[in-house]
Copies of this chain bind each other. A is one copy, B any other.
Amino acid sequence: MKVSELAKRGGVTAETVRHYTREGLLSPRRHPDNGYQLFSSTDLERLHFIQRARKLGFSVAEIHDILLHADQGDSPCPLVRDLLATRLPQIRARIAELEALAQRMEQALESWQHMPDGTPDGHSLCRLIESFPDESSPQEAL
């Protein structure tokens, strides 16, 4: 099957299929006359595998590694365990960051309810933002 059919049957976009192919996760044959990528049912199974791994939080590069191991007959399971155990605390940390951000935002919206909007003058750009307590803890990107 061609790109769109695999995408449709796998429940992803054709762009995603092409992306996974470029990243080496999928390896289609080529039609000899027009160069179109031809995927087999095995590729569909592999796409399902990729999706499972994505849902578990594995990155595309990590899935590529896992598939390399498997294709070489080596067990990727120790790698899989290690990657996930390493990634989980990172996800937890990210959740904590976002939770702290959400609370800051909620506090700001709460206190801003009773504040006038004001107009910029020589000393102030926006009193709302300037009224927010400036703690010296580093702020993380979203």
Number of copies: 2
CB A131 to nearest CB in B, in angstroms, measures 9
Contact yes or no, A87 B99, CB < 8 A: no
**A-side binding surface: helix, strand, loop or mixed?**
helix
Q: Which residues in B have their C-beta under 8 angstroms from that of A74?
A: 119-120
Contact yes or no, B55 A139, CB < 8 A: yes
A48 within 8 A of B: yes
A3 within 8 A of B: no
Contact yes or no, B134 A108, CB < 8 A: no
A66-B125 contact, Cβ under 8 Å, with A101-B91, A120-B73, A136-B11: yes
Give the size category of A's interface with B: 35 or more
- Beyond known contacts A49-B125, A70-B125: 15 more, CB 8 A cutoff: A11-B136, A49-B126, A51-B139, A54-B139, A55-B104, A57-B105, A66-B126, A69-B120, A73-B119, A75-B126, A80-B126, A80-B129, A81-B109, A81-B112, A88-B102
Which chain A residues have a beta carbon within 8 Å of chain B's beta carbons?
A: 11, 46, 48-49, 51-57, 59, 66-67, 69-71, 73-78, 80-81, 84-85, 87-88, 91-92, 94-95, 98-99, 101-102, 104-106, 108-109, 112, 117-120, 125-130, 132, 134, 136, 139, 142
- A to B CB contacts below 8 Å, 9 in the list: A49-B126, A52-B129, A55-B101, A56-B108, A57-B101, A74-B119, A75-B120, A76-B126, A91-B98
